[in-house]
Structure 1
């Protein structure tokens, strides 16, 4: 169904453009529909391919000691370019140690979480990405002001093709693979992810991605010795 809808929209718009002599405004509208649905179709196909690669263990994931600020900033900046009218903030604690992760895959996971937050949040509501140290771990959280996810659904939303209750989707469609892919990427990096309420009133959603701190390298030890 998710593939059939954009394919039908593209086919219908193209058929109308070819069959009729239309005013410029109508042609522009149909071209815009074609473009939007083609982008949606491309995203669906990409999600299917990534999911299949993850299921086969064929998607390379290389865990290194990285600065988590860099993929977080890249994901936020890309989201700001796609949605220039939205408020997307990045809040980073000072002196965050390096973490053990794959930089490209971490950015990919954060981009998917931001896409999800943008879909479900009101257009005027801000979205915040926060990077902080919590005890012996680092956490990156994506916080939105959407309707929230009921507690019984907070594990199931990571299942492949899981469909939320229609009253929660508000007509929003998608591949139903985004969060499944994110969890697979997170597990491949040896970390964890979960969903909780953004506020005590259970409104909004806070998706927390936990990261292991990287082991100090010999170079780090030498720097510490010199500083001492």
Structure 2
């Protein structure tokens, strides 16, 4: 059989993460979301690759067009055409013969449109940008292009050599010293040689850096906001939880009297509900501890009286020789033994009531039939001092409540016993039962001296009893009404002392219990 609460424990078990404090866990969850956002840098690498591929295709097309143009022009107009085409395409054009000798170069002709920047002569901002490029390329695993270096022999260019060997238009992406891409492409010019185009695609690097800067700013702002919100969330959750945990530990260590559990009245969330529940629980625990201590003190006080009487009687028996006096001392001992037995029985029942009621299985109980049965039993045994009893109720009323019959019977036995002990000789005790809208009201009235208004709450305290002067001392333990209140409250009802509506002399005890169909 699965223990109670085991399923809830399994559902709330966090395995390894339950060993980590809430603050780093909240931060970790939000930082994980930021890490997903940082994945945008991988997208930038893909974006850059697409731009580079597009520029490579563009360089191949430009090399083909330049080769077609040079083939159709006379040798005397070749240099002028190369200058114009280099200016239009923004590329450096070089023409090599089949042996790799340089025949024409737009830079030598005066067009310096492709100039590689020396990183040593750039400011610190460009250096930081290059460092970030290197870091991000390493993180995303971007392939590293070969370093661009000028070559004196045309055949030293792989594009020129491949174009002469295959007749195709190859292209290569190089890395300039400042990490900008340099794209070369070569095409064969029939009868003249091989043309090599070189372009420094600095705009690609600038575009990627601008997008990366924007993404970095967004990531930085979102990170700051996320961390601040995480810290705020951790502060609003973790701090009150720690306060509540410390208060609970102090209560567990036995310092319930000096611990004030924060109620967090301004919070209407689950933490506020938890704080108020813990505060109420600690107050109930404190009240229970106080009641237990007071009950223990009262028990000690009440048991000392018969013990002292028994000690005196025993000591007197050893010294008294008169048989009549010895008989009187023995009678005192018997009375004290009966009193001790009654005290122990009532104390045992009073101390177990709360626990027993919490485990009791309630069933429908007809209060009317129960009271009628109690009165019939008393009538059969005979009621002392000629006291009369009357049960006043409407036969058609439903007086069924949910409860434990034996316990409820004890309530009304105690109330009837109390009324009998205070009633004068030949007095009338009236038990009335009325069905209300949602409750059953039972009144027990006698014609005794009544209960003073200032003592109407006191009579329900343990070992507090206002007994009639004619009653023999020690006949009652002073726990009857206290037991009755505990049982009634355990059945979600209430019991009190009220003034009689007919203004006659006597006491009225009123018990109210919920109807069975209302529970």
Match of 2:451 in 1: 149
Give the TM-score of the pair, scaled to structure 1: 0.73
Please give the secondary structure, in 1, of the residue aligned with 2:424: coil
Count how many residue pairs are aligned between Structure 1 and Structure 2: 210
Match of 2:366 in 1: 67
Let me know the Cα RMSD of the aligned residues. 3.3
Stretch of structure 1 that moved more, 176-185 or 38-47: 38-47
For residue 157 of structure 1, report the CA deviation from its aligned partner.
1.9
- Which of the residues 378, 387, 403 maps onto 1:87? 387
* Rounded Cα–Cα distance in structure 2 between residues aligned with 1:186 and 1:125: 27
**Partners of 1:186 and 1:192 within 8 A in 2:** yes
- Give the alignment of 1:127-146 within 5 angstroms: 127-146=429-448
- Give the alignment of 1:53-132 within 5 angstroms: 53-55=352-354, 57-59=355-357, 60-80=359-379, 81=381, 83-91=383-391, 92-97=393-398, 98-132=400-434
For residue 196 of structure 1, report the CA deviation from its aligned partner.
1.1
Higher strand share: 1
Match of 2:488 in 1: 186
For residue 22 of structure 1, report the CA deviation from its aligned partner.
3.2
Matched, 1:196 2:505: no
**Partners of 2:429 and 2:446 within 8 A in 1:** yes
Cα gap change, 1:22 to 1:77, in 2 (>3 Å): farther
Match of 1:219 in 2: none
For residue 107 of structure 1, report the CA deviation from its aligned partner.
0.5
**Partners of 2:441 and 2:510 within 8 A in 1:** yes
For residue 93 of structure 1, report the CA deviation from its aligned partner.
2.2
* Rounded Cα–Cα distance in structure 2 between residues aligned with 1:114 and 1:30: 32
Greater gyration radius: 2
Which digits, 9 at most, give the CA deviation of each residue in 1:23-50, with x for residues without a partner?
A: 6xx85x7776555544433222222111
* Rounded Cα–Cα distance in structure 2 between residues aligned with 1:123 and 1:9: 31
For residue 156 of structure 1, report the CA deviation from its aligned partner.
2.5
Match of 1:46 in 2: 345
For residue 16 of structure 1, report the CA deviation from its aligned partner.
7.1
Higher relative contact order (CA 8 A, sep 6+): 1
Please give the secondary structure, in 2, of the residue aligned with 1:215: helix
Please give the secondary structure, in 2, of the residue aligned with 1:145: coil
Cα gap change, 1:5 to 1:137, in 2 (>3 Å): same
For residue 141 of structure 1, report the CA deviation from its aligned partner.
1.6
Stretch of structure 1 that moved more, 195-204 or 29-38: 29-38
Match of 2:511 in 1: 209
Match of 1:221 in 2: none
For residue 99 of structure 1, report the CA deviation from its aligned partner.
2.0
Which runs of 5 or more residues in structure 1 are unaligned?
217-228
Matched, 1:3 2:303: yes
Give the TM-score of the pair, scaled to structure 2: 0.35
Higher helix share: 2
Cα gap change, 1:194 to 1:66, in 2 (>3 Å): same
For residue 110 of structure 1, report the CA deviation from its aligned partner.
0.7
